Amino acid sequence: MKDAIRRNFDASAVTYREFEAETGQFETLATRLATVVDDALEDDPVRLLDAGAGTGASTHRLRTVGDGVVALDLSREMLLENPTTGRVQGDFDALPFATDGFDAVVFTASLFLTPDPERAVAEASRVLRSGGVVAAVAPLGWYAADGRDVFETLARDSRSPSDATDVEAALQDRFALETGTWESEISADHLRQFYSIPAVAARLYPTLPPDERVQKARTLLADVEGPLEQRWQWLLGRNE
Ligand SMILES: C[S@@+](CC[C@H](N)C(=O)[O-])C[C@H]1O[C@@H](n2cnc3c(N)ncnc32)[C@H](O)[C@@H]1O
């Protein structure tokens, strides 16, 4: 499963960067989550872990919170598109860091991608200092103007292994949580562009080869009309 996730993101680095350059969707999300983290930390944090850093939207924003940002990602190709120093290829389910080393661990649109969010949350808790914070944001879906879930009425072959509910349950086991929702608007064309990223189309059709799954996602979304609302759940916990 992990190999498949890594391969999917390796194959997605360029299309992901292009989507982000055109829409700034993840930068908006990362800015909101970085603000939540900044507000939660009383002292100036020096050590932040960007867990699932990807091509760098979240890394860039976390650097406004503290200088010592480590950008960790499973995918070498995604990291190669991330212009920061301090990049580490690794799995956030098995962090290659010592206990108590970070003031904050931040999962910007990444924690729901692991089949085992409990394990990733246990690892985040282990590397956090006492009083440090963990933050995550996970997708709640895409909604048409009439409030309809875009994927509810469209036939799908599968659903992804974890979602916002699993992320909340995993975090709730270890942390007292603050949580809320965010919305952003996106056009139907940008939704189609998003699902043309192989790793994103893999959440709809995980067993198909990349070209086929992207083609199938395009067909699936061909008639969707915009503007659409994308909804996200953010969560914040403090390490006791
Ligand atoms: C949707 S992207 C978000 C990237 C970035 N945080 C941003 O704001 O643009 C999710 C990233 O999580 C990474 N990822 C998925 N599972 C991971 C794991 N178990 N450990 C580390 N990174 C992982 C993927 O490789 C991908 O780069």
Instruction: At 104, list the tokens.
Output: 């904050």
pLDDT band for position 69 (cuts 50, 70, 90) = very high
Q: What is the 215 CA–ligand 1 centroid distance (Å)? A: 23
Break the chain into its structural domains and give their ranges: 14-142+160-186+229-238
Ligand 1 test: best mutation among 74, 110, 118, most atoms within 8 Å of CB?
A: 110
Give the ligand 1 atom nearest the CA of 50.
Answer: 6
For the chain, list the strands marked E by DSSP: 47-51, 68-73, 87-89, 102-108, 128-143, 177-186, 228-238
Q: Which residues line ligand 1 (CB under 6 A)?
A: 5, 9, 26, 30, 52-55, 57-58, 72-75, 78, 91-93, 108-110, 113-114
**Closest to 194 measured CA to CA, from 230, 236, 239, 149:** 230
pLDDT for the residue 161: 60
Residues 139-158: what's their mean pLDDT? Answer: 79
Whether 159 shows a pLDDT value over 60: the answer reads: no
What is the tens place of the pLDDT at every residue in 188-211?
A: 999 999 999 999 998 888 888 888
Q: What is the 89 CA–ligand 1 centroid distance (Å)? A: 11
pLDDT band for position 132 (cuts 50, 70, 90) = very high
pLDDT for the residue 53: 98
**Closest to 138 measured CA to CA, from 23, 17, 29:** 29
Return the residue whose CA atom lies nearest to atom 1 of ligand 1.
109
Residue 81 to residue 129: CA distance in whole angstroms: 30
Name the CATH topology of 14-142+160-186+229-238: Rossmann fold (3.40.50)
Residue 220 to residue 213: CA distance in whole angstroms: 10
Q: What is the 52 CA–ligand 1 centroid distance (Å)? A: 3
Nearest 5°: the CA angle 173, 175, 180 is: 100
Instruction: At 236, list the tokens.
Output: 């914040």
Tell the burial category of 223 from Cβ atoms under 10 Å away from its Cβ (0-12, 13-18, 19+): exposed
Amino acid at residue number 104: A
Q: What is the 113 CA–ligand 1 centroid distance (Å)? A: 7
